Amino acid sequence: MSVVVSGVGAALPATAVENDAFADLGVSDAWILDRTGVRRRYHLQPGERLVELAAAAATQALDDAGIGASDVDFVVAATSTPDRLSPGLAPVIGHLIGAGSPGAVDVNGACTGFLYALDYAVSRVSHGSADRVLVVGADAMSRPVLFGDGAGAVLVEAQRGAVCDACVPFLSFGSAAEYADALYVDHDDKAVRMDGAQVYASAVEAMTDEIESALATHDITQDDVDLLVCHQANSRILKAVVRQLGFSPERAASYVDQFGNTSAASIPLALRKAQDDGRLKRGHTVVLGAFGAGFTWGAGVIGWKACRHA
């Protein structure tokens, strides 16, 4: 048995916010674009719920996989901005999509959260405790200028009839809490506070090292990789990671200009966009990387919709 991502979905709020909307804050379109690569992001409006975006992304992922909601065994939601402190997003997502009574849990790993949730899903499927696990990354981070709101989802399931240890997704993680004050959100005002220079340097180094380690552990060369998808924080970080890894820019997903930084939603949003653009196809090998508050980081290798050796 191998474990694959069999479907992907994405959802964005209806309201697009261009850089010009922040002119009153003393930052221009050119300033934001030069420093972050962001042209627009999408914001939830008062009364709109993040969980509804998450459910829409989840439904799209199931449709993409050709799987009914009643066949989902477990829902894992990566978020640091749930609509309520409790309950979390995951059980409500399961209810909204009509999944019955699946196991459900939220994971708060900031911008690395989607990879932690994906790792949990892979573990359950590979150990036989679940056949299909829905993994959702969703965040509403629209308070700061650089961030946007959105949701993305993938379905992880067993692919039976093919015994291939190399195609069980491999993910690894790290953390450095001594830098916690360089990127954090307080309970009181929910604003993101960041030491931009420290975050940039640490993100580039950590993602580069972790991705290189994942490739070496999985005995995969760059020629085996069809697409590199890192957390869409900003274009400078993405370009630096691609450059240090030695990848060609054409083999790296970069959609931060269209969505902004959507935290835990950014990787699945990029995966769906890459599939829609024809850059991600059945049997492809995908390398993932993420970095977020904590500091936390992670990287991994997944097969897209089929065992890459099939």
Q: Catalytic residue numbers?
A: 111, 231, 261
- If you search the block for the tokens 């240090």, which residue do you land on? 244
Q: Is 132 exposed, middle or buried (0-12, 13-18, 19+ CB in 10 A)?
A: buried
Q: Are strands 74-78 and 103-107 parallel, antiparallel or unpaired?
A: parallel
d(CA 195, CA 38): 19
Q: How far apart are CA 91 and CA 82, in angstroms?
A: 12
Query: DSSP secondary-structure letter at 283?
Result: T
Which residues, in sequence order, are CB contacts of 95 under 8 Å at separation 6+? none
**What are the C-alpha distances in Å from 68 to residues 10, 118, 132, 160?**
17, 20, 11, 18
Q: Please, are residues 142 and 148 in contact by the beta-carbon 8 Å criterion?
A: yes
**Integer Cα distance of 123 and 3 in angstroms:** 9
